[in-house]
Structure 1
Amino acid sequence: MHQFLPYAWFGGCCVPFHESTISVATHALHYGTGAFGGMRALPNPTDPSEILLFRADRHVRRLSQSARLLLTDLSEITIFNAIVALLKANRPSSPAYLRPFLYTSDLGIAPRLHDIETDFLIYGIELGDYLSPDGVNCRISSWTRQEDRSLPLRGKISGAYITSSLAKTEAVKSGFDEALLMNSRGKLSEASGMNLFLVRDNVLITPGVDQDILEGITRSSVIELAKSMGLTIVERPIDKTELFIADEVFLTGTAAKITPVRRVESTTLRTERPIMSQLKERLTAITEGRDPSYEHWVTRIRLDPLN
C-alpha cells in the first residue's frame, strides 16, 4: 500500500489528499490526454529542515514541454512554485516521490485537444527503493515500444503508458521483475519505465534518442557523469543478443535510480559491476547534497519553522 503525503496540490492550492478528487467523466481518464512528471524529494540527511530535489529545473522543463505537446501552456515557474508549496505543506520526513500531472479536465466525450479545459495537480508518496537495489530479472517483452510518429515520445504522455503497463504485467506474471521493450526496428529501446545501459569492454552503451526512448533525466545525468569520469560513452542501436554477452547491464530512472540487471531471460549476468557501482555511488552523493562539484544539480527547499 502506498503511503500518500497528507496534502496534494489541487485546484491551485494545497488541500487534504482525500479531497483532491476528479469526476468520473474527466476527459483524461477516458482518453489518456495527460502528461506527468516524477521527482524525488529527499530530506537532507544532515538537516531535516531542508528538502533536496534532484535536477528540479530539468524536471519542470520536461513537464512544461510535455504540456506543449498536448497543446497546453503550463509554465515552468507555475510547476516549480506548486512543488515548493506542496513540500512546505507536507514537510516530508522520509524520501518521497512527487507526481505532477497536467490533464484535460473537461467532461466532454469527444477525443480532442482543442477547445478543452485543462488542470494541473501534484501528489506525493513515501518511496524508498522502487526496484530491488540487489538487481532485477528481465525478459524481452512481446510488446513493442511505440514510435514517435504515432505518439509524442519526447513527453511523458499518460496514454503512452498502456504499453508499459502491459509489458510490466507480462514480465511479472511470467516470473520476472521487469520488461525490456524493443522498438519497431527490432532494436532495444527501454524498460517499462526506465532507460537501459550496458557495458562492453569498458565502454558504456545506451540506446540513442532515435530509438524511441524517453529522454530520461537520470539517463542524461549518468551520461554526463560518465564523461566527467573519463569513461567512453556510445549512444547507438543495441541488438538483443548484446545483452547476453554484456559485462554489465543496468537501468536508470527517477524512481529506479540506478538498478542492476541480474538476469535477462535465461542468461545470468556477471555480478561484478565496477562501472555501474562508480556511477551509482557518485549519483547518490550528488542527490544527497554531498558533492560540491554538482551542487547546481540540487535544489534546496528550506521548510518554514514550526510555530
Structure 2
Amino acid sequence: MHNFLPIAYFQNQFVPFENATVSIATHALHYGTGAFGGLRGIPDPQNPNQALLFRLDRHCKRLSNSARFLHFDLPADKIQSVIVDFVRKNQPKSSFYIRPFVYTSDLGIAPRLHKIEKDFFVYGLELGDYLSPEGVSCRISSWYRQEDRSLPLRGKISGAYITSSLAKTEAVESGFDEAILMNAHGKVSEASGMNIFIVRQGQLITPGYEQDILEGITRDSVLTIARDLGIPVVERSIDKSELFIADEVFLSGTAAKVTPVRRIENYELSNVRPITEKLRDKLTAITENRDSAYKDWVYVIPLD
C-alpha cells in the first residue's frame, strides 16, 4: 500500500492527489508516449524545517531531454520550479520519492507525436528502501534490453519499461529479487530499473553508454565518488561470466540507491564488500548533506 503525498501538480495547478486523474482515452496510456523522472528527497536530519533533494538539476535536465524525444519543449527550469513548489506544499515528514511525468495528453487514437497535446504532472509518495540493503538475488533475464536504434534509450520513455516489467516479474516468479538484462550483443546492460557495477581486483567496472544503458544519475554519482576516492574506474562491456566471479556486484538507482547483490543465478557472491560499502556510506552522507565537498549536489528547500 502506497502512502501518496497529499498534493499533486496536474494540468498547470496544484490539486489534491485524488483529483489528479486522466481519461481512459488518454493517448499516452495506449501508446507509451510518455517519459518520467524519479528523484528522492528526505527531511534534513540536521534541520527538520527543510527538505533535501539529491541532484535536482540533473534530474530536471534529463526529464527535459526526455521530453524532447516526445516533441515537447519543457525547460528544465520549469520542471525544477514546479518540483520545489510541490515539496513546499506537501511538507513531507519522512523519506519520499517524486515522480514527474510528461506525456501525450490528447484523446486521439493515432500513434504520433506531431499535432497532439502534451502535458506534465508531478506526484510523490513516501518511500523507504526499494530493495533490501542486505543484498538481493538476481537472475539473468530471458528478455533482452532494447537497442537505441529502435528506442531513444537516453530518455526514460515509459513505453520502454514493458521490458523491465517482463524481466522483473520473470525474476520474482522464479524466486529471485531482480533481473539482469543482457543487450542484443550478449553483453551485460542493466537491471530492470537500475545500473549495474562489478568489482574485480580493486577496479570498479560498469557497462558504458554504448551497451544500451540508461544514463543513470546515481550511476554518474557513484563514478564521480569512486574517482574522488581514488578507486580505479573502468567503463567497458561486461560478459555474463564475469558476474559470477566478480569480487563484488551492486546495483545503483534513485530508488535502489546502492544495493549489493548477494547471489546471481546459482552463484553465491562474497558478503565482504569493501568498495560497495565505502561508496554506499559516502553516497548516504552526501544525500544527507553531511559532506561539504558535494554541497552542490543537494538542493535545500525551506519548509514552513
Q: TM-score, normalised by structure 1?
A: 0.99
Kept in 2, the 8 Å contact 1:105–1:117? The answer is yes
Give CA deviations for 1:27-66 in whole Å, capped at 9, x if unaligned: 0000000000000011001111111010001000000000
| Equivalent residue, structure 2, for 1:252 | 252
Give CA deviations for 1:248-304 in whole Å, capped at 9, x if unaligned: 00000000000000000000000000001000000000000000010010000111x
CA distance in 2, matches of 1:66, 1:132: 29
Give CA deviations for 1:74-114 in whole Å, capped at 9, x if unaligned: 01111011101111111000000000000000000000000
CA distance in 2, matches of 1:71, 1:138: 36
Partner AA of 1:274 in structure 2: P
Partner AA of 1:27 in structure 2: H
Q: CA RMSD in A?
A: 0.5
| Equivalent residue, structure 2, for 1:132 | 132
Pairs aligned (count): 304
Q: Which runs of 4+ in 1 moved over 4 A?
A: none
| Equivalent residue, structure 2, for 1:267 | 267
CA distance in 2, matches of 1:220, 1:287: 14
CA distance in 1, matches of 2:228, 2:200: 19
Alignment of 1:1-20 (within 5 A): 1-20=1-20
Kept in 2, the 8 Å contact 1:7–1:16? The answer is yes
| Equivalent residue, structure 2, for 1:187 | 187
Kept in 2, the 8 Å contact 1:141–1:167? The answer is yes
2:57 equivalent to 1:57: yes
| Equivalent residue, structure 1, for 2:207 | 207
What is the SS of the residue equivalent to 1:283? helix
Alignment of 1:1-307 (within 5 A): 1-303=1-303, 305=304
What is the SS of the residue equivalent to 2:262? strand
- Overall identity of the aligned pairs, in %: 66
Q: TM-score, normalised by structure 2?
A: 1.00
- How big is the shift at 1:175? 0.2
What is the SS of the residue equivalent to 1:190? strand
Long gaps (5+) in structure 2: none
What is the SS of the residue equivalent to 1:149? coil
Partner AA of 1:175 in structure 2: G
CA distance in 2, matches of 1:40, 1:230: 27
CA distance in 1, matches of 2:135, 2:125: 23
Kept in 2, the 8 Å contact 1:103–1:119? The answer is yes
- How big is the shift at 1:238? 0.3
Question: Which piece of structure 1 moves more, 42-51 or 211-220?
Answer: 42-51
Kept in 2, the 8 Å contact 1:39–1:99? The answer is yes
CA distance in 2, matches of 1:13, 1:278: 42
Long gaps (5+) in structure 1: none
CA distance in 2, matches of 1:275, 1:85: 37
Kept in 2, the 8 Å contact 1:14–1:85? The answer is no
What is the SS of the residue equivalent to 1:284? helix
- How big is the shift at 1:70? 1.1
What is the SS of the residue equivalent to 1:123? strand
CA distance in 2, matches of 1:206, 1:122: 31
- How big is the shift at 1:14? 1.1
CA distance in 2, matches of 1:160, 1:89: 32
